[in-house]
Amino acid sequence: MTRYRVFAAIALIAGFLLTYFVWSTEADPYSAYHFKLGLDLAGGTELVYKADMSQTPPDERSDALSALQGVIERRVNLFGVAEPLVQTEQASALSGVTEDRLIVDLPGVTDIKAAVAALGETPTLEFKLATTTRTGTTTATTYLSTGLTGRYLSSAALEFGSGATAGLAAPQVLLNFNSDGAKLFEKITSENVGQPLAIFLDGQPISEPIIQEAIPGGQATITGRFTATEARDLVRNLNFGALPVPIELENSSSVGPTLGAAAISAGVFAGIVGFIIVALFMIGWYRLPGIVSALALAEYLAFMLSVIKVIPVTLTASGIAGLIISVGMAVDANVLIFERTKEELREGKSPREAVHIGFSRAWPAIRDGHLTMIISGIILFWLGTSIVQGFALVFVLGVLASFVSAVSLSRVFLLAIVPEHKEGLWSFLMGSGGHNA
């Protein structure tokens, strides 16, 4: 019994420390461990963009979408938006067509127009081979995609070359491609010497230079018809990130800080009331084991909140729901254990022996129940949208933590205090409902 009391004391101290950590870090305005709240709790704007993959080969769409996400992240971060979140997802329409979407969360920005302005219009850069055909007096130019787009761009710089009028210096934009882009650019120029290579920006040709020779090194120059100011703006936008594929704003939504605060209050209130009701039921029905269960649940909550702070997990309203449901899983495990223990006591076992046997007999059901919940949560996280993923992540973490709460903490606390014999008051404390042990 002594070692169980030592372990119980350590667990209690750890619980107090975790509780203090949660309280102190939330009370300190300068702490790095504040709860990270999602848009539905903190307020902000969510923008959903549709990515046009019609001109992107199927085997390159995944890479293009990842490049698009990186470009938008850099673009948003340049405007100093606090902890922006940029995600990609695939959504199936009723027609059966799969759409690629980009979801941009901007915490603290509640003005949708300001949010769209902050994200801005980032240019789509493409290089296409131009072919001109003549039929009688009709001339037609067609453009063939080369696969060289803005996702291969590393940087852009402003230069001034010799001007065509009065010796004035004409603005030029120097492009530097990454290693993959450099190889592709050299291949294009070496195989198409003498052909025009049109440079498209946002779907419009801005320059059609003739390829004079193979160009190694990954550099290209745009000598379009623009002023120095326009060239500077182009360089700035390209450095912010040229989009590998066009995007279109599909929908937007805004959550005000008042609604977010109301959602937090409702979630916290529901959690506190739910915990009190569950604890009172467990204590009223299972007596001493119920008190132990309530204590283990309190430590479980302190542990879970600490994990959410340290990782950190972005808390949403659905995430709070996942946490509350995982508490129910922990309670369910305790009920199984206590019912098994009660059966052993009725057969005449001593309290300590009944606790040992009760835990061992309840373990297979607890293990299988938790395992199925974890599998369900993983599937939800894998296949669900961002809202469902928030629920699934907190739920899976909570189910894992309930193993510790139900199986380890409750067992240690009970074995630290129950006697060898059920005499006197112990017969009442170890009983349940209207029956003594």
Which DSSP helix (H) or strand (E) runs through 36? strand 36-37
pLDDT-derived band at 312 (thresholds 50, 70, 90) equals confident
- Which CATH number does the domain housing residue 320 bear? 1.20.1640.10
Strand 36-37 vs strand 314-315: parallel, antiparallel, or unpaired? parallel
The reply to whether 435 falls in a domain is no
In terms of domains, do 237 and 273 share one? no
pLDDT single digits (tens) 220-258: 887 767 788 878 877 776 676 667 778 888 888 887 767
pLDDT-derived band at 293 (thresholds 50, 70, 90) equals confident
Query: What Å distances lie between residue 407 and 60, 202, 332, CA to CA?
Result: 48, 60, 11
DSSP 42-76: H-EEEEEEEE--TTS-GGGHHHHHHHHHHHHHHHH
In terms of domains, do 147 and 169 share one? yes
Q: How many domains does the chain have?
A: 3
In terms of domains, do 223 and 363 share one? no
Instruction: Evaluate whether 103 touches 87 at the Cβ level (below 8 Å).
Output: yes
In terms of domains, do 187 and 280 share one? no
Q: Please check the confidence at residue 22 and state whether its pLDDT lies above 90.
A: yes
In terms of domains, do 60 and 177 share one? no
The reply to whether 436 falls in a domain is no
Q: Mean pLDDT across the stretch 354-382?
A: 89
In terms of domains, do 63 and 196 share one? no
Q: Please check the confidence at residue 341 and state whether its pLDDT lies above 90.
A: no
The reply to whether 437 falls in a domain is no
- Among 123, 128, 370, residue whose Cα is nearest residue 233: 123
**CA–CA gap between residue 305 and residue 17 (Å, rounded):** 12
Which distant-in-sequence residues (6+ apart) come within 8 Å of 307 by Cβ? Answer: 313, 397, 401
| 192 SS3 class | coil
Q: Mean pLDDT across the stretch 25-42?
A: 86
Q: Is the peptide bond before 312 cis (omega within 30 degrees of 0)?
A: yes
**CA–CA gap between residue 411 and residue 400 (Å, rounded):** 17
Place of tokens 């009723």: 94
pLDDT single digits (tens) 140-166: 888 998 988 887 888 888 888 654 444
In terms of domains, do 34 and 155 share one? no
Which distant-in-sequence residues (6+ apart) come within 8 Å of 50 by Cβ? Answer: 99, 100, 101, 102, 247, 248, 250
DSSP letter at 409 equals I
In terms of domains, do 79 and 52 share one? yes
DSSP 293-308: HHHHHHHHHHHHHHHH
Strand 197-201 vs strand 204-207: parallel, antiparallel, or unpaired? antiparallel
Q: Please check the confidence at residue 329 and state whether its pLDDT lies above 60.
A: yes
pLDDT single digits (tens) 188-214: 999 999 899 888 877 778 778 888 888
For 293, the token pair is 């269960």
Distance of alpha carbon 193 from its chain centroid, rounded? 47
In terms of domains, do 277 and 239 share one? no
58-72, 353-367, 378-392: range with highest mean pLDDT? 353-367
Which percentage of the chain shows pLDDT scores above 70?
A: 88
In terms of domains, do 417 and 270 share one? yes
Q: Please check the confidence at residue 348 and state whether its pLDDT lies above 70.
A: yes
Q: Please check the confidence at residue 183 and state whether its pLDDT lies above 90.
A: yes
Of the residues 254, 282, 314, the one at which a domain ends: 254
Q: Please check the confidence at residue 23 and state whether its pLDDT lies above 70.
A: yes
Strand blocks (E) in 108-177: 125-135, 138-149, 153-162, 169-177
Q: What integer best gives the mean pLDDT of the chain?
A: 82
Helix axes 317-346, 288-310, angle to 10 degrees: 150
- Higher pLDDT: 376 or 167? It is 376
- Higher pLDDT: 435 or 44? It is 44
Instruction: Evaluate whether 45 touches 254 at the Cβ level (below 8 Å).
Output: yes
List beta partners, residue 210: 196
The reply to whether 185 falls in a domain is yes
Q: Which of 100-109, 238-247, 308-317, 344-353 has the lowest mean pLDDT?
A: 238-247
Q: Mean pLDDT across the stretch 44-60?
A: 84
Q: Please check the confidence at residue 168 and state whether its pLDDT lies above 50.
A: yes
pLDDT-derived band at 9 (thresholds 50, 70, 90) equals very high
Q: Which of 92-96, 104-108, 175-179 has the lowest mean pLDDT?
A: 92-96
Which residue type is seen at 138? Answer: T
Instruction: Evaluate whether 168 touches 153 at the Cβ level (below 8 Å).
Output: no
The reply to whether 109 falls in a domain is yes
pLDDT of residue 372: 92
In terms of domains, do 210 and 296 share one? no
pLDDT of residue 189: 92
Q: What is the pTM of this model?
A: 0.64
Place of tokens 């703006």: 233
Place of tokens 């709240």: 37
pLDDT-derived band at 313 (thresholds 50, 70, 90) equals confident
Of the residues 246, 275, 307, the one at which a domain ends: 246
Q: Please check the confidence at residue 18 and state whether its pLDDT lies above 90.
A: yes
Domain carrying residue 91: 43-118+248-254
Strand blocks (E) in 299-422: 314-315
In terms of domains, do 241 and 274 share one? no
The reply to whether 72 falls in a domain is yes
- Which CATH number does the domain housing residue 52 bear? 3.30.70
**CA–CA gap between residue 307 and residue 310 (Å, rounded):** 5
Query: What Å distances lie between residue 434 and 293, 334, 345, 427, 437, CA to CA?
Result: 19, 19, 15, 12, 10
Q: Please check the confidence at residue 38 and state whether its pLDDT lies above 50.
A: yes
